[in-house]
Amino acid sequence: MVCFPCLSPNRKRLKRRKGSIDSLDHENKSSWSGGEMRRNAHSFDLKELSVATENFKESNLIGKGGFGKVFKGFLENQEMAIKKFNRDAMQGNEEFLMLTVLHHPNLVNLIGYCAEGEEKLMVYEYMSRGSLDNHLFDLRHGQEPLSWNTRVKIALGAAKGLAYLHDVADTPVIYRDLKSSNILLDEDFNSKLSDFGLARLGPVGEDTDVSTTVMGTHGYCAPDYAESGKLNVNSDVYSFGVVLLELISGRRVFEFSLGTGTESLIEWSRPFFNDRSRFTQLADPLLQGRYPLRGFYQLVSLISMCLHDRAEIRPFMHDVVSALKYVASQPYGIDIGCNIPSAHTL
């Protein structure tokens, strides 16, 4: 089912670029101090951030999770996203150290931080259109569905961010929590990966994986990692395949259906992967047929490879980027009713 030359079985991994990610010390992650690790982040005091969010007013709340809450705030006349961690959350330490050395247009930008007593906060650029899941599922009345070209644009941006993490330095970074709610969108639907609290340094030398406690989100987590606890970049590729499947189908990774209980998107979709007479049944009904058949089939092929049961068969993310660029070069001709930039303008 391979449709792209860049995904041939004889592909080779790109030589990794030298970077500063190797300076992360996993034995010393509890500290937010030290000028070297903070050199690119501004230090805010708690009072500034409290004023910016109107004392963390609930009406400014834009997200929350096990780590804490995210508020919209105004600093220096600009909108910012301010993440306030729970006092017992360790995620902030991981995320802070990662984002002080990782910089890419498709990763959310860390602006600054605050560490006062037991309070830990991080300040990011504000992504005005929120997370991808808000544009795929349970759309508000009158909300325009994403066009085909915009979906491809979003997928390509997320893939570029993930490829950067995997190939940034001699040691790859494994994101470990790729899902539609962690892909943020700006006004022009440029996508950026966010929330690096579960990210880990990958294997080095002759090692092929690292052993960790299994973490991530059910449904997005690669089955080989969930069963063994052995983590490598192929685990992220599987998660990307799940997100790509959500993008083309408009379905959640798990859907609750009356009479059948919870239905897995992956299990529902597998019969269509290799059947050319039925693969269009994977398409989001909200697309109303407005997508190129060839490009759609190419994405179905790519998804099938990303979700392969054998981790070593899955493509590398730089190959996925090449494949998505090829799909983006064949945009659907007319975005009816959507004043949204096309993927071919990337």
CB burial of residue 224 (10 Å; 0-12, 13-18, 19+): buried
Angstrom distance (rounded) from CA 87 to CA 120: 7
Q: What is the DSSP letter of 338?
A: -
| 195 counts as catalytic | no
Beta bridge partners of 115: 120
Name 227's Cβ contacts closer than 8 Å, sequence gap at least 6: none
Angstrom distance (rounded) from CA 336 to CA 145: 11
HSE of 329, CA atoms in CB hemisphere, 13 A: 6
CB atoms under 10 Å from CB of 165, counted, come to 26
Can you say whether residue 299 is alpha, beta or left, with left for phi > 0 and alpha for psi between -120 and 50 degrees? alpha
Q: Choosing from 177, 195, 224, 284, which is the catalytic residue?
A: 177
Angstrom distance (rounded) from CA 150 to CA 328: 9
Catalytic residues, by residue number, are: 177
